[in-house]
Structure 1
Amino acid sequence: MATLVLLRHGRTTANAEGVLAGWTPGVGLDDTGRAQAEAAATRLRALPWRTVVTSPLQRCRETVTAVLGEPADGAGPVVDDRLGECRYGDWEGRPLKELAKEPMWKVVQSHPSAAVFPGGEPLAATSARAVAAVREWDGRVGAEHGPDALWLACSHGDVIKAIVADALGMHLDQFQRIVVEPCSVTVIRYTPLRPFVMRLNDLGSDLSGLVPPPKRRRRRAKRADSDATVGGSTG
């Protein structure tokens, strides 16, 4: 299997105004968001990406372009709607302080697996489509480019939290315990036995350690790649 690097988009005008954007068109990065993306670029641009996949929403596409630059061949990242934001329905475009007074707010906070947004979709459906997308893409990238391949997916806070919860074996009802800040990096390596969450909400560490080592004859069994280090990693 390959290694997935999840990137949340930078701060948007809606984030700054405390508004739930959802799938509202025309929501792009603000000045802070563009600065965040440029900071992420110093860590991400030099990595050998095999595939880049993004949510179709403007804020993610702007983030990917700011981080990786315009592609020389004009191909650009692959757009996958399954990595798009949760469809919040009637909640979209409304201030968060106003939404916090809605009865559904408590459900979203304490029992998100049961949350169904009026005119939108269940959070459980958001989680299912996003997890299916990254697992499918990871298998495809690994099959085409080998087990050391790196690929990038740019998505949204709640979507990335749902993917991380799945990788950690957590019920969706616990996903509000996870924090994913704008332009943060989260790294997951899927293996035949279990996923490993290698980094979470990373805003500044050196990512050069993710660069695959020189190709060599692989002698380890697939099961060994899924084994956890007893006593913890030696670094």
Structure 2
Amino acid sequence: MQRSGDDGLGRLLHTVHAADRGNLPAVALWHITVAPLTGVQMDEAVRRGWLTRSERLVAERRSSDMLRGAFGSRRVLRRLAASVVLRCAPEVVEIASWCPRCGIADHGRPWITNTAGRRLSMSTSSSGDTVVIAIGARSIGIDIESEHRVADPALVAAARRLDGWDEVALACPSDSTPLMEWTAFEAIAKTTGHGLTAGQWRIAEALAQHRLEWFTDRHGWVTCVAAAAPAAPIL
């Protein structure tokens, strides 16, 4: 008998394989619009090995069904994307992370491995029902934002006071929009493992080792990818 969660997970798998992936040298990119998973679908994902029990518990701590399902979708999508790059079954992909601030391993900059020990860098971001995923052999960060992010002048002004923002703004093209600067800051901050608290010297060091690329989708949402230059350290 077919389980009620199978159809949704099957669509996710098809979406990942059929997605129009962008190309940067040595980087695989996904830009996917996806609906939240139901509780039944997340339980089925755990059974298949596409979602860990720990991830399922983290999802349950979200405050609404929509937030729980969106978290589940993002975690399943990144495992499916990793399996495409590693050319292995999703259930054998190992996704690890570590937060340098608190030492906890259930969040922070992620990386992926398979049973053969191949290790790759991964970064993800989401806005609304859109998820972007970047996977590469070297350090990588990605961020997607809509115009709503920069609609509040007070929020933009607060962001520009973040330590390291000026360095990122200088690294952006002279005609960059506020949204391009915002996505660049978040993408480069992710490569440090410290996120928005990276600080000026970590941001400056990361900018010296990564190049920035931007993409705009049909909705006008902007994605920035910070990809390590060939001479930068391999993770």
TM range (shorter): under 0.3
Q: Which has the higher contact order (CA 8 A, sep 6+)?
A: 1
- Report the TM-score when normalising by structure 2: 0.24
- Report the TM-score when normalising by structure 1: 0.24
